[in-house]
Amino acid sequence: MAYVPLADQDSEMEMHHPHSWVTKYVWSQDHKVIAIQYGGIAIAVGVVALVLSLLMRMQLGFPETFDLIDPSSYYQSVTMHGMIMVVYMLTALLLGGFGNYLIPLMCGARDMVFPFLNMLSVWVYALSVIILLSSFFVGGGPTGAGWTLYPPQTALAGTPGHDAGIVLMLLSLAVFVVAFTMGGLNYVTTVLQYRCRGLTMMRLPLTVWGIFTATVLGLFAFPALLVSAIMMLFDLLLGTSFFMPAVIESGTPLDHNGGSPILFQHLFWFFGHPEVYIVALPAFGLVSDVLSTHARKNIFGYRMMVWAIIAIGGLSFVVWAHHMYVSGMHPYFGFFFATTTLIIAVPTALKVYNWVLTLWEGNIRLNAPMYFAIGFIFTFIHGGLTGLFLGNVVIDLPLSDTYFVVAHFHMVMGVSPVLVIFAALYHWFPKVSGRMFHEGMAKAHFWITFLGTYAIYLPMHYLGFLGVPRRYYAMGSTDFIPESAQDLNAAITIAALVVGAAQILFFVNIFWSLRNGKKSGPNPWGSASLEWQTPDTPPKHGNWGDELPTVYRWPYDYSVPGAKEDFIPQNVPDGDEPAADEQHFDLDHGVSKAGA
């Protein structure tokens, strides 16, 4: 019997071949369709979160002018904006969207290992989004407890959405974790088992390394969120006291007694901090590939980049309590978590150096994906440096509840990954659609977004130094805040509205280009990685036609001296080496005898 490699043993392939419009576009098991479904839902829900942020900014910038939201809906907007952006948009888009599209293509596989589970994953994710958004339409509205959902505040009558809103939020998160687990099992198993012939782990593009490691982090970190959600649901619905302490509300003692709110904080941040890297690591991987391709240079320090991804992933599990300095802890714990936080800066800085060195003396092609990728380096350095400030206990304590923190985390895990997402969307758009986007519109989108986000977040650092508190609906008359701070707030709001409106350019560009864009051909960027070498663009179901590719080299052979072009694709053999179909194989063991 002919030996069939693992990656081509997909007996389900025929079974899930689409036979109707519904099985092709709705209940599809094709990883590419699922990726677009994930991406579409994530972007749609992200737009909801963006609108909420603009409502908040209009209140903060012009508190007496607009009457769009009241204090309750302000807190609800803060909460929903934060949770949607972090979990339902960034995580879903980077892992569910890019992970689904790129893993099988970059691994030379026909699909994910478990296509049916993959399909379930996206629809369970859709269900979690529906549950979350339904909280806008229940009595009391969505929860306004802040995205960290700290008890006992979440359950008290003074907090908006303390009844149905918080229950729906927790339920939605639990459902999301189930969806993520189904998808995550697929991603890791596909990377480990379904790589094509010749594709060793160290020949994987950094995109796959980033997504793979982030998925492993997610699989081990999301259980903490699930556990805390389940226990809090017990507290809210069954009257238990896991987290709820004895509380007197409006003169009436509640039924709870003796629970530990700090326990919730530990569980939440044991998930919450790795979550930062669940978002960051895929972005690191994607941007590495975009930078390398458009600089026409191999990524600088590939091995160190892989080690840094793994080191960051490991360290991300031992820094969580730096989010809890203001909750109070033993000084030695504070010292420990401050130290680990500073240590994690080492592999992170290493990656930044390597991105910059990749650009050094490269034959840089300044097109739109490259604009966004270089923009990311700026914003990430910026956000990373302020993280070093906040990692220290003595600096964090006075700054923790100010706009300095808002500026920091938006720069490092808001703007930075979003710039990478745009870089990646523009970079892989020709492969997904077969057409080029409008370059001018994309560059205009970049400049407004990049400069606009600086106009938003740079002043926020100064507001933080002034002591302007975050999470406030209105500042009122506060002696220590000068009136000029309000002028800055108004300017920030105007910049936010401009940046928000500029995103329309992106959608117009995408939809216009889908119909009118120039045909891209299979590999418009001259990229060496496998996904650009498919026989069809966009790739058809099964990706590779009759035969899976064979990999002969790493994915960064750019500007190779003596090569015909300035890149050599991964599936092209060296001149003096026989191609795969000319070699002889031991069919029982799948071992090449070419060198024997």
Partner 1 sequence: MSLFKTLTEKPWERKGIIGGLNPEGAFESPPERVALGFFLTIASVIFSMFGVSYVIRMSLPDWEPLAEPAQLWLNTGLLAISSILFQWARNTANAGKQKNLLAAFIGGGVFALLFIAGQILIWENLQASGFYVASNPANSFFYLLTGLHIAHLLGGLWVWSKSSIRLISGSKPEDVRLSIELCTLYWHFLLIVWLVIFAILSNT
Residue with tokens 């952006």: 85
Query: Which helix (H) or strand (E) element contains residue 348?
Result: helix 331-359
**Given 93, 188, 236, 291, the residue binding partner 1 (CB under 8 A):** 188
| Residue 226 or 280 having the CB closest to partner 1 | 226
* Interface characters, 300-339, with partner 1 (x: CB under 8 A): --xx--xx--x-----------------------------
> CB of 265 within 8 A of CB of 77?
no
Q: How far apart (Å, rounded) are the C-alpha atoms in residues 530 and 108?
A: 7
Q: Is 181 in the site for partner 1 (CB under 8 A)?
A: yes
Neighbouring C-beta atoms of residue 157, cutoff 10 Å: 12
Query: Which helix (H) or strand (E) element contains residue 224?
Result: helix 206-238
Q: How far apart (Å, rounded) are the C-alpha atoms in residues 411 and 415?
A: 5
Among 434, 534, 520, 435, which residue's Cα sits nearest to residue 107? 534
* Interface characters, 544-583, with partner 1 (x: CB under 8 A): ------xxxxx-xx---------------xx--x--x--x
Q: Is 434 in the site for partner 1 (CB under 8 A)?
A: no
Q: How far is the CB of 354 from partner 1 (least distance, A)?
A: 14
Q: Is 230 in the site for partner 1 (CB under 8 A)?
A: yes
Please confirm whether the linkage preceding 538 is cis (ω < 30° from 0): yes
Q: Is 348 in the site for partner 1 (CB under 8 A)?
A: no
What is the per-residue DSSP string for 428-460? HHHHHHSB---HHHHHHHHHHHHHHHHHHHHHH
| Residue 366 or 596 having the CB closest to partner 1 | 596
Q: Is 263 in the site for partner 1 (CB under 8 A)?
A: yes
Q: Is 203 in the site for partner 1 (CB under 8 A)?
A: yes
Please work out the total of residues on this chain that contact partner 1, with binding judged by CB under 8 A. Answer: 70
* Positions in 376-405 near partner 1 (CB under 8 A): none
**Given 258, 328, 561, 562, the residue binding partner 1 (CB under 8 A):** 258
**Given 99, 210, 259, 272, the residue binding partner 1 (CB under 8 A):** 259
Q: How far apart (Å, rounded) are the C-alpha atoms in residues 131 and 530?
A: 38
**Given 57, 162, 197, 297, the residue binding partner 1 (CB under 8 A):** 197
Q: How far is the CB of 216 from partner 1 (least distance, A)?
A: 8
* Positions in 465-494 near partner 1 (CB under 8 A): none
Q: How far apart (Å, rounded) are the C-alpha atoms in residues 199 and 7?
A: 11
Of 25-33, 123-131, 238-246, 283-291, which part binds partner 1 (CB under 8 A)? Answer: 238-246
CA 305 to each of CA 197, 205, 319: distance values in angstroms, whole numbers, following the listed order: 24, 11, 21
- Structure-token pair, residue 216: 């492993």
**Given 132, 226, 312, 411, the residue binding partner 1 (CB under 8 A):** 226
Buried/exposed code over 397-408 (b: 16+ C-beta within 10 A; e: otherwise): eebbbbbbbbbb
Q: How far is the CB of 270 from partner 1 (least distance, A)?
A: 8
Q: How far apart (Å, rounded) are the C-alpha atoms in residues 376 and 371?
A: 9
Indicate the residue type of 352. Answer: V
Of 4-12, 141-149, 452-460, 524-532, which part binds partner 1 (CB under 8 A)? Answer: 4-12
**Given 23, 72, 148, 189, the residue binding partner 1 (CB under 8 A):** 189
**Given 71, 239, 253, 398, the residue binding partner 1 (CB under 8 A):** 239
What is the per-residue DSSP string for 355-398? HHHHHTT------HHHHHHHHHHHHHHHHHHHHHHHHSHHHHHH
Integer-rounded Cα radius of gyration of the chain:
25
Q: How far is the CB of 387 from partner 1 (least distance, A)?
A: 26
Q: Is 223 in the site for partner 1 (CB under 8 A)?
A: yes
> CB of 438 within 8 A of CB of 509?
yes
| Residue 212 or 446 having the CB closest to partner 1 | 212
Q: How many helices (H) and strands (E) does the chain have?
A: 17, 4
* Positions in 77-136 near partner 1 (CB under 8 A): 113-114
**Given 65, 193, 478, 484, the residue binding partner 1 (CB under 8 A):** 193
State phi, psi for 564 to the nearest 5 degrees.
-60, -45
| Residue 62 or 234 having the CB closest to partner 1 | 234
* Positions in 134-163 near partner 1 (CB under 8 A): none
**Residues pairing with 586 in the sheet:** 591
Q: Is 538 in the site for partner 1 (CB under 8 A)?
A: no
Q: Is 248 in the site for partner 1 (CB under 8 A)?
A: no
Q: Is 174 in the site for partner 1 (CB under 8 A)?
A: no
> CB of 66 within 8 A of CB of 58?
yes
Q: Is 229 in the site for partner 1 (CB under 8 A)?
A: no
Neighbouring C-beta atoms of residue 8, cutoff 10 Å: 17
Q: How far is the CB of 303 from partner 1 (least distance, A)?
A: 7
Footprint on this chain of partner 1 (rule: CB under 8 A): 3, 5-7, 113-114, 181, 185-186, 188-189, 192-203, 219-220, 223-224, 226-227, 230-231, 234, 238-242, 255, 257-260, 263, 267, 270, 298, 302-303, 306-307, 310, 550-554, 556-557, 573-574, 577, 580, 583, 585-586, 589-592, 594
